[in-house]
Structure 1
Amino acid sequence: MEQRPKAYVFDIFGTVVNWRYSLAKGLEASAQKIIDESAFSDVDEAVLARARDMTFSDWEWFAFQWYKRYINSGARPKDGQESGKAAGSDRGVQARWTLGGDAEKEQLVHLWHELDAWPDSAAAVTRFAKLGPTAMLSDGSVALLKSLDARNGLRFDQVWGSDTWMAYKPDPAVYLGAAEKLGLRPDEVALVATHLGDLRAAKKCGLKALYVERPFEERYTEAEIDEARRAGWVDMWVPYGPGGLLGIVERLEAMG
């Protein structure tokens, strides 16, 4: 990449916010609250037993199933909503979804609005903003994304979600629409993301592709990742460790 991009659009789930840990933490805490109050309720003992046996790793697995259904659904729910029963139908972990009543389930849906950013995200976005406009570019709804922006003090210049485009990544309308809204050519805009498939689709539309590795986020196999590296799917590749979003912005700042 010879020239620094003029604007930066960001994938959010996994790239900017640590959805896996955040959801698992919230699910575990809400389950424990109901377990603690079970003496005063009529919750089925078998359900309680399954919930008591779940480790934090189990909750992370549960969170992944929930997230997978969210991002793979053809009719994606707005504001991060998802069917609890559908999310927990595997391996019997629907235990949590049968704990409590409708009010508790509604609280779980709100966990999507309480996702925590990766520790480097807010500082990195501030530095990106000195290089050009910044925007959220996610398949989440605008309302959900605004909640995450405010909660984590991210201060993106623009917030664009699935209801902005009535389309989902990797539809070219999303990437090209972002460039159009910014008033720039696609090659003047960079997508920052932790998913190679997202970046490859953006690059096919002419955008620059900046890849940041995050723990457990990449869905490709090791062989596919190696092929992506050799084939030049991305313009910048920042590995695990001390890199993160700050690693990308530091390289960009060094370009002058």
Structure 2
Amino acid sequence: MITMTSRPQLRVLFFDVFGTCVAQRKPVADALWRAAKEALESDTSLVNSEVRAKATKMSYEQWFEFGGEWNKDVEVFTSDSKAKHGNVDWRAVDKYRFESLHKLLAQLGLIIPHEDASTSGLAVKEGSLWNESHLKELGLVWHRLPPWPDTCRGLDLLNKQFSTVTLSNTYNDLMTNLVAHSSIPFKHVYTSDLFQSFKPNPKVYLGAAEKMGVKPEECALVAAHLDDLKGAKACGFYAIYIERPLEEKTPELREQNIPDMVVKEDEDGFIALAERLGIEVV
């Protein structure tokens, strides 16, 4: 069931992207699992026997959990960056994603780091499950995440009545490429780097509203993350919660009744949202 409170006259729908518009957990696990399988089926001389034995024991479920830990490690990095500098260099975050992958794989004994590893943190010895080129390619999975099944159709419907705009904690080049890669029909692409900060800093939400030429009360944030919605609502935005599988990182916030509207996980995401906002779905 979709629940909502009375809402103002909305003109702009801003969207969180990672987890809300594009899936994260399964695509990352799929990429890791597929790359591991390809490496294990390659020439047996390329992968160290000890590494091969460890990788062979890794189940899909373990790669799924590994992907979650990888994402969590990067989130810790961004939080630390914000605490230390009051801002985040999102291109540095992209670089750290590669370094994090290297670190976590080394902890599992799936790659063998060079003792004199380069400053990029990606130098590996022969016999590793993947070489440096493979690691870089895996790191780019975050640039190619696929949309949820309802995303593109739902946005086509929402575009009939609203301006739809990304509002994501990343840098603009990455988001522009991701949206183009998956043919997601947003009308505008905004990212946190445009506002010299990142969510939930009010500068991002209020800056985005100002850039669109609308008042905060004419805006909604659509997100699968309650902490993001809490930040937007504090700035006067209407808060629309789209439940996505395994995406809520702060479930304790459920007790605060933050969303003004909720689309449940077993509903049809953005398509259900369009219908609830008065758009005919045929």
Question: Which TM-score applies when normalising by structure 1?
Answer: 0.89
Residue 150 in structure 1 maps to residue 180 in structure 2: yes
Instruction: Give the deviation of 1:91 after TM superposition.
Output: 9.9
Residue 86 in structure 1 maps to residue 100 in structure 2: yes
Tell me the equivalent position of 2:118: none
Residue 82 of structure 1 aligns to a residue whose secondary structure is helix
Tell me the equivalent position of 2:169: 139
What are structure 2's unaligned runs of at least 5 residues? 1-5, 82-87, 112-121, 123-127
Q: 2:137 aligns with which of 107, 119, 123?
A: 107
- Given that residues 22 and 116 in structure 1 are in contact (C-alpha distance below 8 angstroms), is that contact kept between their aligned partners in structure 2? yes
Residue 246 in structure 1 maps to residue 275 in structure 2: no
Instruction: Give the distance between the partners of 2:143 and 2:271, measured in 1 at CA.
Output: 24
- Given that residues 7 and 131 in structure 1 are in contact (C-alpha distance below 8 angstroms), is that contact kept between their aligned partners in structure 2? no
- Given that residues 80 and 112 in structure 1 are in contact (C-alpha distance below 8 angstroms), is that contact kept between their aligned partners in structure 2? no
- Given that residues 70 and 76 in structure 1 are in contact (C-alpha distance below 8 angstroms), is that contact kept between their aligned partners in structure 2? no
CA-to-partner distance for each residue in 1:64-118, whole Å, 9 max, x for gaps?
1121223332255528443445345389446268422221111112211221111
Residue 3 in structure 1 maps to residue 28 in structure 2: no
Moved over 6 A (4+): none
Which letter does structure 2 place at the counterpart of 1:120? Answer: D
Q: 1:129 aligns with which of 146, 154, 159?
A: 159
Q: 1:85 to 1:184 in 2, by over 3 A?
A: closer
- Given that residues 186 and 207 in structure 1 are in contact (C-alpha distance below 8 angstroms), is that contact kept between their aligned partners in structure 2? yes
Residue 195 in structure 1 maps to residue 220 in structure 2: no
Residue 95 of structure 1 aligns to a residue whose secondary structure is coil
Q: 1:165 to 1:48 in 2, by over 3 A?
A: farther
Tell me the equivalent position of 1:23: 28
Tell me the equivalent position of 2:85: none
Q: 1:247 to 1:196 in 2, by over 3 A?
A: same
* Bigger mean CA offset, 108-117 vs 186-195: 108-117
* Pair member with larger Rg: 2
Residue 95 in structure 1 maps to residue 123 in structure 2: no
Instruction: Give the distance between the partners of 1:254 and 1:22, measured in 2 at CA.
Output: 31
Q: What CA RMSD, in Å, does the superposition of the two structures yield over aligned residues?
A: 2.2
- Given that residues 22 and 115 in structure 1 are in contact (C-alpha distance below 8 angstroms), is that contact kept between their aligned partners in structure 2? yes
Residue 228 in structure 1 maps to residue 242 in structure 2: no
What are structure 1's unaligned runs of at least 5 residues? none
Which letter does structure 2 place at the counterpart of 1:10? Answer: F
How many residues in Structure 1 have an aligned counterpart in Structure 2?
249
- Given that residues 82 and 109 in structure 1 are in contact (C-alpha distance below 8 angstroms), is that contact kept between their aligned partners in structure 2? no
- Given that residues 219 and 238 in structure 2 are in contact (C-alpha distance below 8 angstroms), is that contact kept between their aligned partners in structure 1? yes
Identity %: 32
Which letter does structure 2 place at the counterpart of 1:95? Answer: L
CA-to-partner distance for each residue in 1:171-217, whole Å, 9 max, x for gaps?
11110111011100011010000011100110001111100111111
CA-to-partner distance for each residue in 1:33-77, whole Å, 9 max, x for gaps?
111114141x32222222211111111111111212233322555
Instruction: Give the distance between the partners of 2:48 and 2:98, measured in 1 at CA.
Output: 18
Tell me the equivalent position of 1:210: 240
Residue 47 in structure 1 maps to residue 61 in structure 2: no
Instruction: Give the distance between the partners of 1:66 and 1:38, measured in 2 at CA.
Output: 28
* Bigger mean CA offset, 67-76 vs 15-24: 67-76
- Given that residues 209 and 235 in structure 1 are in contact (C-alpha distance below 8 angstroms), is that contact kept between their aligned partners in structure 2? yes
Question: Which TM-score applies when normalising by structure 2?
Answer: 0.81
